[in-house]
Structure 1
């Protein structure tokens, strides 16, 4: 124990921000801090190869694209192809095209899988001289309410390290260590279980012309592009279902039925898993010098594609708040960070909840019952026939503009 204490005390490091986690949230924080001339260290417990291949969300919505553009990073970090704004809602086999373009000026959404965004964010950060440390084990946070917190971790070769800093950005997701470092009772969790499961399937099969969401009496289904020759599919199922209960033949039969496409082209299935739709919000999103970002603070139903985009907005607000504090001595934005983030978080939670219920209740009425099924069908009919309803939907899908002041341009 004495040797451990001596090693940590003899070679302490110092930086302004320690970022925990090298997913979209952490890497966005780190890149924006670099653009602001603020030093930081990113710690990630996994290997670079593992992080680069994690398959997750695939659409960077319009407001998030414009956020990256305002920092001069859009061309460097956003791969994929521009999203034409068309979303197909297929109800009992009948196609309805909904446009999520809200008429505003500027670049629009991009179909950009998470692993591509992470790879490009990683490359940009390292090219700009960023400090990114993979395989950082046993990370622990200390003295978070002091002026100079300490982050300790173990390197891949077993060495112990300690870093003092001014701020810690907890970007390590729902199961990371950042939120667990907050004392019990300091945060209030708001949790909701939707009672719905999804089987998610990755396959080497042709992508759809537009992101596709389908409603049928057999349940919800979806088909999204994940590259020029790959697709991700979703099938509603009981939340306690098992992936091995879904053979390849059962998956393709269910997709053809629910998508209303008997000629759907199949392909090799490369991955399948079942997850439970849930929502979770922690309030506040900060404790002392620790600021929670993305999934470390909130989980949202995947309907509407808001999870990753909320993380990007959190990262933007935090980076600008740290910039103000470091360069101008103004901690106003840091003190209001949680309040400002949660305004958008709750708005997107409400939208995702509305969309989840509409597209699931409108199909299989086993769980929802005939009354809620009829309500959901009425919502769909209004979306397809009312310009006002379609406009509100487009604004929310695009990423509602809360009038956040972008402040001075990055330094």
Structure 2
């Protein structure tokens, strides 16, 4: 959501920033709607004043025995009440329309975010590690897992359909080991381990920006709940409708949860294997902080996610998303892309975003900046990392010619000393 006062003061600025995201000028439409609301509210206030004045005069007229004047005043009060009811309903309707419009609009990017139309114009910032030179043709992760008998898509399809998997034995333990390593590393960096709900109300999804725009990508659960598409929703909403003490900030949280997405907008993409599934595990990072700290916190979250890939010795690169590829709620996003030998390219394994006060306004999350001066917090979120995609990267980068998988040194203690999966 956006500050209407700021849009009134600098409409051209908002139009310019929204234009970077490919949107037509919108400030006039927003401000015209705002004027209708304020005009209707003025009529309501004038009618309320007239009602109150006439109500006081009725008693005086009755005291003087002037029944005719009293009746006239009563009619005036009744007319004012009708105006208040009618115009009040109009105000509510106009406000609802404006709220719907504002809720549908994406966040505005920071000034220095690279301009671009789509992912092809994202900017590579750094690379870490050198992709391994294989002396054999590297296999895809799903072929490796299936041949080991530890990754079963067919059985999962019998009970759940496509884009699900059953992991068994050492691969199931590897999945658990990865999440445990990530949590251990992120908590060591100051993120508090949290176990949030997996079911949330629509208001929680509206707060973080998944509703109303991305309703088709969500899984409803009964009449009142949805399954979370990411722990970002649960973690960020822990501060909704709150006024936080300044000295409690920043708040840093991490959680390992399943995530559920219909992937409605990804028809035909990555349907094979574990890259894009309807259910997957992820270790999420969320930070809530003061506005002046959000850029530094963003870089800290990026560093924490990078440390996991470095610990696993997986080659990766960091890219900054251009304006045309930014997520709905983000002002700036860094993507971590890990090297996948079977595809001979880097693939996204984490998106780390600074949302500014966009989510905080939707959730009404503020902090006490000074006496009688409550300000909106900034919220940030990112994967630290997507567990399934990390498992994919480990399988492909650590594979042997005979189809066995070397266990990364950092994971051997979590695997009970197992060094080779085969």
Q: Taking structure 1 as the reference length, what is the TM-score of the superposition?
A: 0.24
TM value normalised by structure 2: 0.24
Structure 1 or 2: more helix by fraction? 2
Structure with higher Rg: it is 2
